[in-house]
Chains A and B, each alone.
Chain A
Amino acid sequence: MPKISGDELRGHLATLILSVLARGEAHGYEVLRRIEDAGSGALELKEGTLYPALYRLEQSGHISARWESAKETRRGPRRRIYRLTKKGIAELDRGRKSWRNFVSVMDRIVEA
């Protein structure tokens, strides 16, 4: 399968993150794994780009974050668990509509 680079994903990363968080709360690495798994290995995402995107989503109130509790903690550094907020759900809805519109417009042009 041809790879999709990070540049092609630019602008859609927020929607990707919100989509995978819609399946349930997750820490950063898990978010990445879910995106990679859903993309069947076709997505070539620079992993570092995930965290600035998560912080921006958190600041805009689309997701909320908490440090994992003592029970959840394994050995090593703590992880932050992210979850979708109501505002995030609405944003995801908008993102999906925008994506469908983008695909349909591109389809009409490219497949013409």
Chain B
Amino acid sequence: MEALRIHIERIVRPIRAGGRRKNKMREELLAHLERRCEDDMARGTTQQQAQDFAMTQLGDPEALRNDLQATVPFLERMLFVKLPFATLDSWFDRSHDESAIHFVLVRTICMTMFAVLLIALLFVIDHGPALVSGFAGEHEWHDLPTQCSSLLLMPCLIGLGAFIAHVLVEVTGLRRNLSKMHSAGLFLRVISLNAFIGVQLLIIVFGGLFVEYLTAPPRVAAVTLYALGSVARILIPAVVFSFVVGMPFTAWVMVKEHERYEKWGRLKIDE
């Protein structure tokens, strides 16, 4: 019945939806096709004929895929849009043909750009309304160039933090060991991957804070500390929550799903 699985996988795999929903579709369609085959074989057709007939009766794969896609809620569809760059897993797994320098630089640049966006957002939230409405005090206009320069300094520090974190990970062989953990238990792998992300975020935030505290003049340091503190205020509860609740739960769900649907993931289909 491998042919049936491949046929279903061709339909379901490209659908933009969560794993649970897609697994439901897979299992249900497979149960349907197997039952159809059993009925036809009971009437005397060969297994091959029964499989071909069952797949034909299911209808045009592309039309069915579109119909199934349309049943996925909008928000879920958006969450699973295929991004032009790597998925989270490959983000932390360097491919064989990628050099360590390229790996570290690309991720550092991405982290820096992310920091620029985040800090710009924080700046707009803190000062935007006052500046736009014209109610900004004299000192706010006066401080603006200083604040902007210190805010621009922060992405550089965060980028430096990301760079150091990635270099450390490369030098210590932590990433290489994580990649090897494919053979280890999935639970352990998910936990380690999450821990790796969490530790990296903490290194970036506290590394940036420390470097800034040591080097910057007091006034710039105060503004930078404030903005980094804002990032940390969001980041630290998120990381703690992820460690305590999110990570064990995610790992448990992934292990359960993986056990049941391992075979589907291994199927080779022409996408």
Q: Which residues of A approach B to under 8 Å, CB–CB?
A: 27-29, 32, 46-49, 51-52, 55-56, 59, 76-80
Contacts and interface: CB of A to CB of B under 8 A. Distances in A.
Nearest to B5: A77
Q: Which of A28, A49, A52, A79 counts the most chain B CB atoms within 10 A?
A: A52
B27 A78 contact: yes
A28 B67 CA distance: 16
Nearest to B67: A52
Contacts of B188: none
Contacts of B68: 51-52, 55
Contacts of A79: 28, 31
Given A56-B71, A77-B34, A47 B59 contact: yes
Interface string B161-203: 0000000000000000000000000000000000000000000
Given A47-B36, A49-B64, A80 B28 contact: yes
26 contacts: A27-B31, A28-B32, A29-B32, A29-B35, A46-B60, A46-B63, A47-B57, A47-B58, A48-B59, A49-B59, A51-B25, A51-B29, A51-B68, A52-B68, A52-B70, A55-B68, A55-B71, A56-B71, A59-B73, A76-B31, A77-B27, A77-B30, A78-B27, A78-B31, A79-B31, A80-B28
A55 B35 CA distance: 20
B24 interface: yes
A79 B67 CA distance: 20
Interface in B22-74: 24-25, 27-32, 34-36, 57-60, 63-64, 67-68, 70-71, 73
Nearest to A30: B35
Interface of B: 11, 24-25, 27-32, 34-36, 57-60, 63-64, 67-68, 70-71, 73
Contact of B58 (A48, A55, A56, A80): A48
A60 B99 CA distance: 51
Contacts of B34: 76-77
Given A77-B30, A78-B27, A80-B24, 18 more contacts: A28-B28, A29-B35, A29-B36, A32-B32, A46-B57, A46-B59, A46-B60, A47-B32, A48-B67, A49-B59, A49-B67, A51-B28, A51-B29, A51-B32, A52-B64, A52-B67, A55-B71, A77-B34
